[in-house]
């Protein structure tokens, strides 16, 4: 790492470029055959599949943002993470009517959008709250308190209730490997070795002689990735990811609690990123998959057998880059190779051969995804990588790709055609709106947060 203001010269670049070891490594690397294209995948035109009789009139878009900010505690490198997860309610039916009366009045258009957000700060390096013994235990406590305080309806279940319903579905294999969060602090004797450590609901106490507080949210294990002496951006990103995915289930369970599942006939939920959970809390993916199946089966009795419509949309990454490459740079093919209003349904074999190289027999994303991907080129030419949920076991068979394995594919394609935006390349307007509500400007916003944090620390 350089000193502040120190810049490298060009000599190291020349040396690296001429190093035989680097040339040898590049020569040994596998190279994808560019002639393998999406022509090997099942291709579905929007016009060839029958949409449902329910056109979504309401969209809920979910996106998050996180910014680590240095604070003054007297200890070096003290840091807090500000995390925001926004959900935007969009009256699509009203927006369609306004679209018929171009030019659209911006004031009236904004009235079709109703945003709300979860905003919180989380302890990072050298930030210890209350009577906690470390920044790590402080993070665990604040995460639990946040989930307990957030709910859609004042008289409904909390986000913590939603999470604990998923905790009951947690795979045992993950739980068997988890240690007490205090393990190692007391000569490795925090947990009674005669008893297996188990997560419980709510707040409770460690079974050992120290009796330290434990929380149901400890099962997310985000604290395990926390660094005691450096930035914890990755931890804050994991928390944001958790809140985004939990919010999907929280919306559905809250509608179930109110006996409003009939709303799902005209509701679509769109979240930034794939339908997956990565990192320490990856077990949530399995639990979400099971809960979605239960909710979907119950909802069908109120929607004339219609599946729920949930979409994950990827803004970047390997799959997006691959799709753009296929459409623009397929050898011996003209640009705009993919026809508009056409979807390509991905298989496990195609993903491993062309996008994320692997020779594993385990299906791609088996432990992290609760949905499967497809490519779609909209009527306007936008290239989108989307995910639809696993709502039954047949959807999870990645050895094949049939339209029946992608719930409400025709409705999803139609919705993507309507929601595509010209504001950014290959973007959707609801995700843009949700991101604008969630995002904290990295420069101006960071200064505001630093000032706020400094004032709060003075009052403590």
386 in Cβ contact with 344 (< 8 Å): no
Instruction: Check pLDDT > 90 for residue 307.
Output: yes
Cα–Cα distance, 375 to 182 (Å, whole number): 45
- Position 194 scores a pLDDT of 44
- Over the chain, what is the mean pLDDT? 85
110 in Cβ contact with 222 (< 8 Å): no
- Position 38 scores a pLDDT of 65
Sorting pLDDT into bands at 50, 70 and 90, what band is 325? confident
**Closest to 245 in 3D by CA, of 63, 431, 38, 460:** 63
- Position 302 scores a pLDDT of 92
- Position 93 scores a pLDDT of 79
Cut 0.85: pTM above it: yes
Instruction: Check pLDDT > 50 for residue 443.
Output: no
Average pLDDT over residues 194-211: 77
- Position 460 scores a pLDDT of 44
Phi/psi of residue 345, nearest 5 degrees = -100, 120
- Position 459 scores a pLDDT of 45
Tens of pLDDT, residues 265-299: 989 999 999 999 999 999 999 999 999 999 999 99
Instruction: Check pLDDT > 70 for residue 129.
Output: yes
- The winner for highest mean pLDDT among 149-153, 369-373, 432-436 is 369-373
Tens of pLDDT, residues 373-428: 999 999 999 999 999 999 999 999 999 999 999 999 999 999 999 999 888 889 99
- Position 448 scores a pLDDT of 47
Instruction: Check pLDDT > 50 for residue 444.
Output: no
Beta bridge partners of 385: 314, 375
Helix/strand/coil (H, E, C) string of the chain?
Answer: CCCCCCCCCCHHHHHHHCCHHHHHHHHHCCCCCCCCCHHHCCEEEHHHCCCCCCCCCEEEEEEEEEEEEECCCCCCCCEEEEEEEEEEEEEHHHHHHHHCCCCCCHHHHHCCEEEEEEEEEEECCCCCCCCCCCHHHHHHHHHHHHHHHCCCCCCCCCHHHHHHHHHCCCCHHHHCCCCCCCCCCCCCCCCCCCCCCCCCCCEEECCCCCCCEEEHHHHHCHHHHCCCCCCCHHHHHHHHHHHHHHHHHHHHHHHHHCCCHHHHHCEEEEEECCCECCCCCCHHHHHHHHHHHHHHHHHHCCCCCCCCEEEEEECCCHHHHHHHHHHHHCCCCCCCCCCCCEEEECCHHHHHHHCCCCCCCCCCCCCCECEEEEEEECCCCCEEEEEEECCCHHHHCCCCCCHHHCCCHHHHHHHHHHHEECCCCCEEHHHHHHHHHHCCCCCHHHHHHHHHHHHHHHHC
Cα–Cα distance, 364 to 358 (Å, whole number): 9
Instruction: Check pLDDT > 90 for residue 113.
Output: no
**Closest to 312 in 3D by CA, of 352, 277, 283:** 277
Cα–Cα distance, 283 to 37 (Å, whole number): 33
Contacts of 177 (CB under 8 A, 6+ apart): none
Domain ranges (residues) in the chain: 43-123+233-459
**Cβ neighbours of 346 (radius 10 Å):** 24
Instruction: Check pLDDT > 50 for residue 138.
Output: yes
- Position 394 scores a pLDDT of 96
Tens of pLDDT, residues 5-61: 555 566 666 666 667 777 777 777 776 765 556 667 888 999 999 888 888 888 999
Which has the higher per-residue pLDDT, 329 or 42?
42
33 in Cβ contact with 329 (< 8 Å): no
Tens of pLDDT, residues 73-110: 888 888 999 999 988 888 887 877 766 666 655 656 67
């Amino acid at each position: 790492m350089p000193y502040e203001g120190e810049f490298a010269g060009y000599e190291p670049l020349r040396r690296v470029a001429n190093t035989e070891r680097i040339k040898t490594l590049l020569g040994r690397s596998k190279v994808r055959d560019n002639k393998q294209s999406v022509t090997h995948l099942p291709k579905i035109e929007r016009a060839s599949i029958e949409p449902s009789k329910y056109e979504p009139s309401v969209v809920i878009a979910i996106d998050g943002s996180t910014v680590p900010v240095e604070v003054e505690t007297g200890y070096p490198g003290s840091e807090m993470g500000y995390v925001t997860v926004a959900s935007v309610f969009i009256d699509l039916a009203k927006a369609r009517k306004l679209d018929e009366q171009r030019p659209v009045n911006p004031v009236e258009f904004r009235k079709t959008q109703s945003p709300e957000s979860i905003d919180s700060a989380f302890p990072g390096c050298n930030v210890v709250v209350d009577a906690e013994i470390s920044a790590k235990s402080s993070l665990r406590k604040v995460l639990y308190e946040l989930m307990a305080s957030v709910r859609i309806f004042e008289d409904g279940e909390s986000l913590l209730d939603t999470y604990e319903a998923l905790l009951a579905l947690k795979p045992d294999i993950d739980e068997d490997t988890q240690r007490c969060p205090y393990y190692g602090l007391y000569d490795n004797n925090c947990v009674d070795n005669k008893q297996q450590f188990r997560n419980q609901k709510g707040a409770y106490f460690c079974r050992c002689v120290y009796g330290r507080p434990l929380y149901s949210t400890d099962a997310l294990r985000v604290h395990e990735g926390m660094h005691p002496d450096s930035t914890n951006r990755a931890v804050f990103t994991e928390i944001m990811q958790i809140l985004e995915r939990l919010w999907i289930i929280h919306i559905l369970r809250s509608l179930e609690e109110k006996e409003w599942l009939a709303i799902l006939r005209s509701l679509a939920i769109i979240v930034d990123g794939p339908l997956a959970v990565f990192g320490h809390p990856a077990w949530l993916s399995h639990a979400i998959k099971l809960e979605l199946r239960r909710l979907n089966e119950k909802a069908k009795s109120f929607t004339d057998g219609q599946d729920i419509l949930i979409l994950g949309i990827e803004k970047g990454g390997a799959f997006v880059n691959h799709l753009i490459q296929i459409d623009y740079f397929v050898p011996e093919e003209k640009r705009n190779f993919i026809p508009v209003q056409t979807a390509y349904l991905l298989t496990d074999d195609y993903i491993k051969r062309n996008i994320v190289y692997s020779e594993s027999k385990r299906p791609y994303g088996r432990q992290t995804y609760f949905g499967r991907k497809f490519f779609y080129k909209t009527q306007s030419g936008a290239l989108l990588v989307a995910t639809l949920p696993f709502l039954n076991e047949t959807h999870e068979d990645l050895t094949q790709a049939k339209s029946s394995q992608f719930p409400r594919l025709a409705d999803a394609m139609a919705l993507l055609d309507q929601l595509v935006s010209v504001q950014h390349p290959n973007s959707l307007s609801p995700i843009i709106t949700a991101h604008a509500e969630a995002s904290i400007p990295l420069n101006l916003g960071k200064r505001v947060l630093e000032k706020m944090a400094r004032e709060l620390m003075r009052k403590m």
